[in-house]
Amino acid sequence: MNPNIKNYLIELVGTFILVYAITSAATVYSKSGQLGVIGIGLVHAFVLTAIVFAIGYKSGAHVNPAVTVAFLITKRMRLIDGIFYIVFQIIGGIIAAAVIFTIFGPTISSSVTLPADGNVFRAFTLEIVMTFTLVYIVLTTAATASNKIGPLAGLAIGLTLGFNVIFGGSISGGSLNPARSFGPALITGDFSYNWIYWIAPVIGSLIAAGIHRFLHAEQNP
């Protein structure tokens, strides 16, 4: 099989695992109240850490269109590969949400990312800042020779996501990832605020990529 196609499929599987874990945790929390915001944040941290360790050496473990956008801006991957990465990430997120719907039914609606109290500005701004921190950490921990994720980067990346979700999850839903938000939105048909979780993460990603190119020129092609 073409190595590029394998990487696309790896991104699909990685994104599926990420969104499955996150969405199921959010759904279970709404049903039982056992996890809480700290528990949800730890789920994010643990699953992303595991994914980075598992597939980072192969596809780079983007599992997030915002991360792929940053890799495109910093010229670490070809445009065609970036497009396919994003497409397969979105497909992975949709499949994960569909599986959760099959298990839990309409309760999956609790995993749809929405701004608290309808405060769009606060959620939008927070998603930009949180995504910036995540993408900046990803870019700075990527192995420069192969543009894959470094062997010890998983912990840094996973903890960055987890801390952001613990802090911002109750305010914006703690997405930082368009694929994570789009899957549940599509399955439930609730696109009321979905634009936030596309535009804000991309803006945060662009800021991270710009700062990285300026401060870490030696890491960029």
Q: Where are the domains of the chain?
A: 3-219
Predicted confidence (pLDDT) at residue 220 exceeds the cutoff of 60: yes
What lies within 8 Å, CB to CB, of 130 at 6+ separation is: 164, 167, 168, 172, 174, 176, 204
pLDDT of residue 216: 86
Percent of the chain with pLDDT over 70: 90
> In whole angstroms, what separates CA 26 from the centre of its chain?
15
The overall pTM is greater than 0.75: yes
What lies within 8 Å, CB to CB, of 88 at 6+ separation is: 8, 9, 11, 12, 15
134 close to 160: Cβ distance less than 8 angstroms: yes
pLDDT tens by residue, 17-41:
999 999 998 888 765 556 678 888 9
DSSP 8-state secondary structure symbol assigned to residue 149 = B
Half-sphere exposure of 12 (CA within 13 A, CB side): 13
Q: Please state which CATH number belongs to domain 3-219.
A: 1.20.1080.10
pLDDT tens by residue, 102-142:
999 999 999 999 999 999 999 999 999 999 999 999 999 87
19 close to 93: Cβ distance less than 8 angstroms: yes
Compute the chain's Rg from CA coordinates: 16
